Amino acid sequence: MALMFQPIRKYASFSGRARRLEYWLWQLFLAAVVSALYLWILTALGGLPPMSGDPAADQAAFNAALAGSPVAALPLFALLGFSLFVFLPSIAVSVRRLHDSNKSGWWILLGLTGIGSLVLLIFYLLDGTRGPNRFGPDPKGRVAPTG
């Protein structure tokens, strides 16, 4: 559980390494909080407006419901505040996760492309380098393989 909040303790630290568990627990935390905030918004709106099947019309109906409900402003601002608060720690833990597999943090820019996001997902899923690498000691405490 302590690893889940490690990115907040290392708020904007882009140096070092982050193990898979730290990265994925952080993602779980983000998903849980954002889901709860969206649920709060939907509760404040009284549920979703009826869907017509036309995505543009459905989006317009949702935006109109959101604009017409001052009660939904508080959870909306909470979502905005939370997003701003976790922006730097999210990038930092992603960079440290790349460092764990001995890759530069600049690889994170691949996420700006469609296929690059899939490549990053694979990097985040793979185990890190055993033993120390150029970004620091192994966060799992393993020693480098001999041979």
Q: End-to-end alpha-carbon separation of the chain, Å?
A: 36
Using the predicted structure, report yes or no on whether residue 66 has a pLDDT greater than 90.
Answer: no
Q: Report the predicted TM-score, pTM, of the whole model to 2 decimal places.
A: 0.85
Residues recorded for the chain? 147
| Summary mean pLDDT of the chain | 89
Q: Give the per-residue SS3 of the chain.
A: CHHHHHHHHCCCCCCCCCCHHHHHHHHHHHHHHHHHHHHHHHHHHCCCCCCCCCHHHHHHHHHHHHHCCHHHHHHHHHHHHHHHHHHHHHHHHHHHHHHHCCCCHHHHHHHHCHHHHHHHHHHHHCCCCCCCECCECCCCCCCCCCC
pLDDT at 147 over 80: no
Of 116, 139, 106, nearest to 10 (Cα)?
139
pLDDT of res. 31? 97
- Per the CB < 8 A criterion, the answer to whether 91 and 120 are in contact is no
Mean pLDDT of 85-90: 96
Q: Summarize the confidence of residues 31-40 as an average pLDDT.
A: 95
Q: Which of 48-57, 94-103, 105-114 is the least confident region?
A: 48-57
- Check pLDDT > 80 for residue 34: yes
